[in-house]
A and B are shown apart, each in its own frame.
Chain A
Amino acid sequence: GAVVSQHPSRVICKSGTSVKIECRSLDFQATTMFWYRQFPKQSLMLMATSNEGSKATYEQGVEKDKFLINHASLTLSTLTVTSAHPEDSSFYICSARPTMGPYEQYFGPGTRLTVT
């Protein structure tokens, strides 16, 4: 089956620094990737949709200058949390939609970000 990986799985950073999270589709090409955020005991909230080679589309209320998304290839999307604050601490999950086959959306294992 299709596999999506995320790196790192856990990261702790200091307030004010930036952290980059990678999302890779390992055995398929993904024109479209999605970034979700999940607070403890809550649902997944879609942050943004990224299409390979173009700018990401952000959901309402998500700061695009704070959460930088780059989808430079058909197998890699990155999310950079800039000038992180403790309130950015969350579980970030990426998802990839295969270029071939419009129904599926495969999810990565998630990245736990803790900002101290």
Chain B
Amino acid sequence: AQSVAQPEDQVNVAEGNPLTVKCTYSVSGNPYLFWYVQYPNRGLQFLLKYITGDNLVKGSYGFEAEFNKSQTSFHLKKPSALVSDSALYFCAVRDGGSSASKIIFGSGTRLSIRP
């Protein structure tokens, strides 16, 4: 079984400050990890993914995430937040050990950037 947890319902950050959105996961095989962003009444936009290789993954809009196997975490980060980053962020995991596995989503974290 696979699962993903986002412990924070909401994260508030001032514009220009660094931001972190937390994510931890559990899979039986190799983890494929993803971050998506959703704006109101819109579908999901892909930000970045970790499949293998370098633990630090760089994605769209200046976001990055660090895969930490020992802590089973994949936190999303950005060095300097923008007001336009305010949205709902989902961490997702897929069990790479099975070709039939599905992407499972976390509960989401609402990111609010104040001017």
A residues contacting B by CB (< 8 A) are: 6, 34, 36, 42-46, 49, 91, 93, 95, 102-110, 112
Select which of B42, B46, B49, B51 is within 8 A of A109 by beta carbon.
B42
* Contacts A42-B108, A44-B90, A102-B99 given; does A93 touch B32 at CB 8 Å: no
* Contact indicator A103/B90 (Cβ below 8 Å): no
Whether, in the assembled complex, B56 has its beta carbon less than 8 Å from a beta carbon of chain A, the answer is no
Contacts A49-B102, A91-B41 known; 17 new A-B pairs at CB < 8 A:
A34-B102, A36-B105, A42-B108, A43-B106, A43-B108, A46-B102, A46-B104, A95-B103, A103-B32, A103-B49, A103-B51, A104-B49, A108-B43, A109-B42, A110-B41, A110-B42, A110-B43
B contact residues, total (Cβ < 8 Å): 19
- By secondary structure, the A interface counts as strand
Residues of B with C-beta under 8 A to A112? 41
Q: Determine the residue in chain B with the shortest Cβ distance to A102.
A: B99
Question: What is the CA–CA distance of A43 and B104 in the complex, to the nearest angstrom?
Answer: 10
Q: How far is the CB of A50 from chain B (nearest CB, A)?
A: 11
